[in-house]
Copies of this chain bind each other. A is one copy, B any other.
Amino acid sequence: MRISELSTRSGVSTASIKFYAREGLLPAGERTGYNQTDYSEAHLRRLRLIRSLIDVGGLPVAAAARVLASIDAPDHPLEQVLSTAQSALPQPVSPPSPASVRRAEEFVAGRGWRAGPQNPGLRILAGVLDAWAAVGREDLASVLPEYARAADVIAEADLDAVSTAVEGARTGGDRAAAAQTVVVGTVLGDQLLVGLRRIAQENASARRYRPTEGNPS
């Protein structure tokens, strides 16, 4: 198809398509004549993946490029695509305090969690501990055990999806599709959780403060 059709079907402007091709996120189309380039269904699928990572996942273009490169690398173990996707996600700007990093590590160890010092979650957790301390609300750490319990539930669901994808690729499935599952799941999983948390909060709030439907406050 021509770039105009690719643009219509993907909802991505031709200027953006050319930009993604120039930046290496989208493979170049096939030149079929003077000033004419042909794009395939694979280009359309790739473009939709790019938009998912950037629009819904909120990744900067450079981070999306790193994630896509990890999908493309043929010798990249699928299990490692997960940590590559994790590292490509936006990280806290300012480094957390050493005291909070230590507290985060102690919390992780206390739960019996196995996680290396490079895990980006440690820095994020330490940053939140710093923020609580900065506003004098260390008492908010009371939510930590329940949040951690929820994180375990989510991680198991994530790993189930990854395992299914890895198993599918081993038994002759599409490796790119498997890697895509991991990446899309990792990037969009954060957003999914943010969305469900909002809904569950309103639900929990409605049940506590307006226990019966016919009794508006």
Query: Which A residues form the contact surface with B (CB < 8 A)?
Result: 45, 48-49, 51-52, 55-58, 79, 82-83, 86, 90, 92-94, 108, 113-116, 119-125, 127-128, 130-132, 134-137, 140, 142-144, 146-163, 177, 180-181, 184-186, 188-209
Q: Give the docked Cα–Cα distance between A55 and B116 (Å).
A: 25
Given the known A-B contacts A128-B191, A155-B197, A203-B114, are A55 and B143 also in contact in the complex, defined by CB atoms under 8 Å? no
- A161's contact among B58, B114, B124, B140, by CB below 8 Å, is which? B140
Q: A143-B185, A159-B205, A190-B194 are in contact. List 18 more A-B contacts (CB 8 A).
A: A51-B131, A56-B131, A82-B201, A114-B203, A119-B202, A121-B197, A127-B195, A128-B191, A131-B184, A140-B181, A146-B153, A150-B153, A151-B199, A152-B200, A154-B197, A155-B200, A193-B193, A193-B197
